[in-house]
Amino acid sequence: MIDNTRQTFFSPDDDTQDAFLNFIKTAKVKVRLADYSFNLEPLVQLLIQQKNAGVDVQLVLDSSQATGTTEKPVIDQLKQAGVSMVIGTSSLRKIMHNKFTIIDDEWVQSGSWNYTAAASQEDNFFDIEHSPDRAQKFTMYWQKMWDWISKNEPQT
């Protein structure tokens, strides 16, 4: 259960995958996600379900990872389902290495954990925190990445 405090999860000790999926399930209005390496199949299905339920789901993903053998099929699946995304680099033309998600402009998940099954088997962590102020700061940065990639990197 998510409450009004910061919760911290460590992999492989905690069930980071279930904790993150439960976090995503709480979205009622909007999901803004930025991730470097992205191939967690249950997350893909959940994001599609959320989008189909009327939640505004948008992703910023890294181009160096998006073409990988495990990432490309799930990204194609999301695109086919109509999930909005941009795939690119940073404004310095380097990797987009962030790992965070904002839910409903109030909740933030952030840490070192990529949204992959493998990340749950390695030493990683993430926090989930209820903080509209923190959510606003993360959303502003997320939007900055979305806008830069949209303007400067061709999307297919």
**What is the identity of the amino acid at 43?**
L
Domains observed in the chain: 7-152 (3.30.870.10)
Tokens 């993150």 map to which residue?
A: 20
Which residues share a beta bridge with 99?
Answer: 35
Give 129's pLDDT tier (boundaries 50, 70, 90): very high
- Give per-residue pLDDT as tens, 74-97: 999 999 999 999 999 987 878 999
- Give per-residue pLDDT as tens, 39-83: 999 999 999 999 999 999 999 999 999 888 889 999 999 999 999
- CA–CA gap between residue 125 and residue 71 (Å, rounded): 21
Report the pLDDT value the prediction gives residue 1, as an integer from 0 to 100: 43
Tokens read off for 35: 């991730």
- CA–CA gap between residue 67 and residue 40 (Å, rounded): 15
Report the pLDDT value the prediction gives residue 147, as an integer from 0 to 100: 96
Report the pLDDT value the prediction gives residue 4, as an integer from 0 to 100: 62
Cβ count near 112 (within 10 Å): 15
